[in-house]
Amino acid sequence: MSIINILFGVGLLFFGRKAFWLFVAGAGFVAGLSLTNRLFEGPDWVGVTVGLVIGLLAALLAIAVQRFAIGLAGFMIGGYIALQVLPALNLESGWATVLAFIIGGVIGIIMVGMFLGWALISLSSLAGAALIVNALNLDSGLDILIFIILVVVGVVFQARDLRGGRRRTSKR
């Protein structure tokens, strides 16, 4: 399971904006995996299976209905990021989990709507870094430092392409 999280994490970290279908698939995977593992106790393969199914369906939807899928991905990644904050606030009960996911999801949709390119870069970098750090099981403190470094690397890498695209179109 760790290797899957790392692979999705790296893909999201570096290519989340450019390959929007990967962003949407990754968003579906991490949201499905996180929600399943937090709400239902059972074997790990159940969460991975649910995550993969949701990710596959989200990717197919992304190809068919781009705008809606990007909004859906914003919702799922916003919800996933909110779930990552819950332990720090000691709010890991069932309803708090669902409410945090919905609130985070709405914030994700708003970000995607207002700042599509930057939202995809930010959300995919945050989600990719979170997947990688969670898979590595690092010591407390070190995980935060690695997370911040990965987010910065992902944002800088993806933003370079965004700025490069603007320069090319402005010269025409």
Task: Name, in order, each residue with C-beta under 8 angstroms of 132's C-beta and a sequence gap of 6 or more.
Answer: 5, 6, 9, 10, 13, 146, 150
Q: Is 40 left (phi over 0), alpha (psi -120 to 50) or beta?
A: beta
State the pTM of this model: 0.59
Q: What residue numbers bound the domain in which 99 lies? A: 2-170
Least-confidence region, from 3-17, 125-139, 158-172? 158-172
Query: 81: burial class by Cβ within 10 Å (0-12, 13-18, 19+)?
Result: buried
Q: What stretches of 16-115 show up as alpha helix (H) in DSSP? A: 20-39, 44-64, 66-89, 94-114
Do the Cβ atoms of 120 and 23 come closer than 8 Å? yes
CB atoms within 10 A of CB 42: 9
Rounded to whole angstroms, the Cα distance separating 88 from 110 reads: 24
pLDDT for 75-98, tens place per residue?
Answer: 988 998 888 888 777 776 778 888
Q: Looking at the 3D structure of the chain, how many domains does it have?
A: 1
Residue 144: CA atoms inside 13 Å, Cβ hemisphere, count? 4
Least-confidence region, from 13-22, 38-47, 94-103, 132-141? 13-22
Average pLDDT of the chain is 82
